[in-house]
Amino acid sequence: MRKRSAMFARVLGVLPLLATAGCLHVPAGRVQIDRMDYGEVIAESWKRQTLLNVVRLRYADAPVFLDVASVINTYSLSGTVSAGGSVSNGQLGDAAQANAGGAWSNTPTVTYQPLMGDRFTKSLLQPIPPSAVMQLMQGGWPTDLVLKTVVRSINGLRNDSLGIGGDPGFGEVVGLLARLQRAGGLGNRVEARKDGSAVILLLRRDGKSSGQQEDGRRIGELLGLEEGASEIEVVYGFAPRSGHEVAMVTRSMLEIILNLGTGIDLPASDATSGRVLPGLRQAGEEAAIPLVHIRSGAAAPDTAYAAVPYKGRWYWIDDNDIASKRTFTFMMILFSLAETGQTVAAPVVTVPSR
């Protein structure tokens, strides 16, 4: 009898330990893991969606932009504890048992928001403001990358557009400005005025090197600036009103995407059958250098920077093509700058507590 009492006492003594084992909590490290995982998936899907829309527009197909509005992850942890015993007569002896169990789960809730209506117009159809162009250059983005991607013309000098080569003077101005930026001779200033803010381009003409001074002189000559002008107002427009003004015609996000589409390696059958939009280049016109090189084939390499299937073929950007990767990433950042409209509230999602 004493043995039985001792046995059941041991079982009862284990129960608090089993109960404590069921009172577990979600480890803090789980938040870090989930945040990194979800962030990686969202970034990859954003790249693939952008690349797919570049391809779709080249094939005269409607682009579709679906934003991830929110990601809510709920964690659930449950446990069970049981104990039992039996007393028998005869030689079979007595038996006692104790069991514990637990279950862990996490349930993500993702909400999507299509880009449409007023947001579509402001994000894709409105030209990027010249002030944003200057901020990008001031923020450290290479001048040649910014101007070749975003600007259609500067003081009447035309950039490459939709497969057509631009004016030689545009490329020369971009190269000179990029060289000045690297030498620390290029900057900007924002001035508050009654009719709004104005962006002033600053050209440092008193550089120590004669080469920097010559670059500033040549830029002024190509853009028709007043001799010796070092502070130039940047405005939106095709032609300047004075020798102290730089007029930029900037592109919209939709135009930038269309320009990226001219760098697709099209299947020969699609290029000749009328399935895709042809380039606008006419006979005798110089071809433009593509901003991004998008390859195509029956299958994409596993190491591609971004790859999407479309109508039976794969289209991708090679991971070793750093110039294309840089331009493509820059274009994705421009989407954030293009969000100039009123912020649309995300859908209200009710998630039950667990």
CA of 258: how far to CAs of 53, 54, 61, 156, 301, in Å? 9, 7, 12, 21, 25
What does residue 30 show for φ and ψ, rounded to 5 degrees? -65, -35
Does residue 307 sit in helix, strand or coil? strand
Question: Which tokens in the block code for residue 244?
Answer: 């102290």
What does residue 111 show for φ and ψ, rounded to 5 degrees? -115, 140
**What residue spans define the domains of the chain?**
117-338
Query: Which amino acid, one-letter code, is at 309?
Result: P
Q: What is the pLDDT of residue 278?
A: 72
Q: Is the pLDDT of residue 20 over 60?
A: no
CA distance 164 to 324: 19
Closest CA to 41 of 108, 104, 114, 116: 108
Cα pseudo-dihedral 213, 215, 221, 222, rounded to 10: -170
pLDDT in tens, 306-333: 999 999 999 999 999 999 999 999 999 8
Q: What is the pLDDT of residue 260?
A: 94
Q: Is the pLDDT of residue 105 over 80?
A: no
What 11-15 contacts at long range (C-beta under 8 Å, 24+ apart), as own/partner pairs, is: 11/83, 11/85, 11/96, 11/97, 11/98, 12/83, 14/83, 14/98, 15/81, 15/83, 15/98
pLDDT in tens, 232-256: 999 999 999 999 999 999 999 999 9
Q: Using an 8 Å Cβ cutoff, are 249 and 153 in contact?
A: yes
pTM, entire model: 0.77
Does residue 119 sit in helix, strand or coil? helix
pLDDT in tens, 250-299: 999 999 999 999 999 988 888 788 888 776 554 445 667 889 999 999 99
**Mean pLDDT for the stretch of residues 145-168:** 92
CA of 164: how far to CAs of 101, 143, 259, 283, 290, in Å? 69, 21, 10, 11, 10
Does residue 158 sit in helix, strand or coil? strand
The angle at the Cα of 275, spanning 270 to 278, to the nearest 5 degrees, equals 85
CA of 272: how far to CAs of 211, 260, 275, 276, 303, in Å? 49, 20, 8, 9, 30
Count Cα atoms within 13 angstroms, Cβ side, for 180. 30
Alpha helix positions (H), the chain = 2-22, 28-58, 117-120, 130-138, 143-150, 168-182, 210-223, 253-261, 268-273, 322-338
Q: Is the pLDDT of residue 102 over 80?
A: no
pLDDT in tens, 199-236: 888 887 666 677 788 888 899 999 999 988 888 999 99
The strand pairing partners of 315, in sequence order, are: 296, 308
Question: Which tokens in the block code for residue 164?
Answer: 């057509």
How does residue 10 score in pLDDT terms, banded at 50, 70 and 90? low
Closest CA to 186 of 236, 222, 144, 226: 144
- The number of angstroms, rounded, from the C-alpha of 144 to the middle of its chain's C-alpha atoms is 20
CA distance 271 to 306: 23
**Mean pLDDT for the stretch of residues 65-75:** 79
What does residue 121 show for φ and ψ, rounded to 5 degrees? -65, -50
Q: Is the pLDDT of residue 63 over 60?
A: yes
DSSP state, residue 278: P
- The number of angstroms, rounded, from the C-alpha of 314 to the middle of its chain's C-alpha atoms is 21
Q: What is the pLDDT of residue 352?
A: 56
Is the dihedral angle over the CA atoms 246, 199, 173, 248 positive or is it negative? negative
